[in-house]
Amino acid sequence: MGDQSRMTLLSPPRRWQRGLLLLCLLLSVPAWSADILLTAAEDGAGVQAFVQALALQRPDDHVTFTPLTDLPAPSQLPAGTRLILLDLPSLDWRLQDTQGPSTLVLRISRLQARQRLGQGVPAKISLLWSDPPLERQLRLIATILPQARRIGVLYGADSEFLLRELRQYAAPMGLEIVPQRWDDINDSRPLLHLFRNSDVLLGLDDPQLYNPKTAKNLLLSSYARQLPLVGPNAGFVKAGSLASTYSDQTDWLAVLDRLLDHPPTGWPRTLYPEHFKVMGNPQVARSLGIEQVDEANVAARLAEGEKRP
C-alpha cells in the first residue's frame, strides 16, 4: 500500500517533467525555416564561397545553389521559395515569367536596371543596388575635400538620367553639379573642358565611360590637372582614383540576413546596402598633395550622418 501511494504521488511530477521537456524541445526548434535558392549562369569559386557564407549565416534555413541552366521556368518553382539572383543572365531568365517566387536581385547597377526594366520594377522583385549611392558619394567628397564646390560629372546617354538626382542631393550641401556629356571616349576635349571648370570629378558607375580603355586617359588627365577623381567604385580606386564608398561580401550578407528575417511582402522594391566601407588610394593622395583618406574614420562619419533624420 505504501509503495503504491508513493508511485501515485510521484506520477504527476514525472508527467509534468515530460511536458516541460517537450515544451523546451519545441521552443528550441525554429518557428519556421525558409527555402533559399540562389542561382547564376556560372558556378565559380566566388559564387560557391558566397553561398556557403550565407548558409553558415542562416543555419536554420535550407540554402542551396542551382545553376541557371538546371532550373525550370520561374513559375514552376515552389511559391514559398526565396529566390536570390547573382547575375544579369539570371535576371533575364526571371523576367521572362510574370509568375514565380519572391526574388532578390543582388548587385545590379542603376544603369543595368534601367536598361532592362525601364523606370519600373516588376512585382515580387527587389533590386539591391551595386553602385554607391550618389548622395553618399557626394558626402564623401564634402568630407575629404571640404573646399571643393564644383563637382564635375561626365555622363553618357545611359547615365544622363542620374543628373537630376545628383542635383537634388548636391543643392542642400552647397555643391554645384557641372555636367559634361562624353559621347566619344577617343575625344579628350570634353574631358579637358570639364576639368577646367571643376574642383573634383565624381565618377558615375557607367561602364561606357569608366572602363579599362578609358582609365589611362582619365587618370593621367586627372594627375596633369591636379584634379581628384572620386569613384566610381572600389575597382577604379585601385586603378588610380582618390577614393570611393563600396560594399563588400560581408556587407551584402548583412543586408540579406536582415531581409530574409522578414516576409517577402515587406521587402523594399529597391535598396542600397546600409553597411559600407570607404577605400582610399594613398599614392594618389600623395601625388595630388591631398591628405591621405582615413578610411575607417570617414566611413564612420558618413554612417553616423546617414542615421540622423
Q: Kindly report the pTM of this predicted structure.
A: 0.87
pLDDT band at 26 (very low <50, low <70, confident <90, very high): very low
284 three-state secondary structure? helix
Digit-coded pLDDT (tens) for 124-139? 999 999 999 999 999 9
Which comes out higher in pLDDT, residue 202 or 1? 202
Q: Give the pLDDT score at 223.
A: 86
Q: Could you identify the residue written with the cell 588627365? A: 221
In total, the chain counts a number of residues equal to 309
Q: Give the pLDDT score at 14.
A: 56
Average pLDDT over residues 187-191: 91
pLDDT at 30 over 60: no
Query: What fold characterizes domain 134-246+276-307?
Result: Rossmann fold (3.40.50)
Q: Give the pLDDT score at 307.
A: 73
**Helix crossing, 134-144 with 162-170: angle to 10°?**
40
Q: Give the pLDDT score at 17.
A: 54
Domain ranges of the chain: 35-130, 134-246+276-307
Question: Would you list the DSSP string of 213-272?
Answer: HHHHHHHHHHHHHT--EE-S-HHHHHHT-SEEEE--HHHHHHHHHHHHTS-GGG--SEE-
Q: Measure the CA–CA gap between 87 and 55, rounded to whole angstroms.
A: 19
pLDDT at 255 over 90: yes
Average pLDDT over residues 183-194: 92
Q: Give the pLDDT score at 276.
A: 96
Q: What is the mean pLDDT of the chain?
A: 89
